[in-house]
Amino acid sequence: MSTRFDLSPLYRSMIGVDRMADIFEAALRSNVDNSYPPFDVEKTGDNSYRVTLAAAGFAPDELDVTAQPNLLVISGKKANHEPARDFLYRGVATRAFERRFELADHVIVQSASHADGLLTIELARQIPEALKPRRIEIGRSPQQRLDAPENARVAA
């Protein structure tokens, strides 16, 4: 089943939404099995997030976390130096994977840690000072200063 959204009304009133439209289309057309490895995304504060990925069977040196502009890529590849074993049943998946997360503007990766089979990545939105709202002081125009009542008293 394919669902296609018509985002053309946005193009009439907004500049730069083509990136957002591309993200929507990429998410909708993804036919890849998105269930491996399982993961959680949680909001831990007003501007902070955490991605926790189940990486059972992977050592920290078999995992790779790459931060690119607006993209977080997590991949894992099992080393081939494991001794031959005769499994009767193999339920712990250790196949190679690559998981991509689109990041909003100004979201950066702060840290990554691996413990108890879980890879945890801390993210934060850091808005540059130039983009933060700032209060503008309203001053008096030069003409208003000359016409002020205190100036009239001094002249009298």
Q: At 52, is the pLDDT very low, low, confident or very high (cuts 50, 70, 90)?
A: very high
Q: Are 76 and 48 in contact (CB under 8 A)?
A: no
Please check the confidence at residue 99 and state whether its pLDDT lies above 90: yes
Using a pLDDT cut of 90, give the percent of the chain over it.
40
Q: At residue 125, does pLDDT exceed 80?
A: yes
Residue-range domain boundaries for the chain = 1-31, 35-132
Residues of the chain above pLDDT 70, percent = 75
Check if CATH label 1.10.10.10 holds for domain 35-132.
no
**Alpha carbons 44 and 154: distance in angstroms, whole number:** 61
* For range 121-141, the mean pLDDT: 88
- Report the mean per-residue pLDDT for the chain: 82
Contact assessment for residue 57 and residue 117, using Cβ atoms and an 8 Å cutoff:
yes
Tokens 């690559």 correspond to what residue? 98
Query: With bands split at pLDDT 50, 70 and 90, how would you rate the model's confidence at 94?
Result: confident
Alpha carbons 27 and 5: distance in angstroms, whole number: 12
- Read off the tokens for 109: 């990766």
4-31 pLDDT per residue, tens = 667 677 677 777 667 777 777 766 666 5
Residue 104 has pLDDT above 70, yes or no: yes
User: 65-76: per-residue pLDDT in tens?
Assistant: 999 988 999 999
Would the pLDDT of 82 be above 90? no
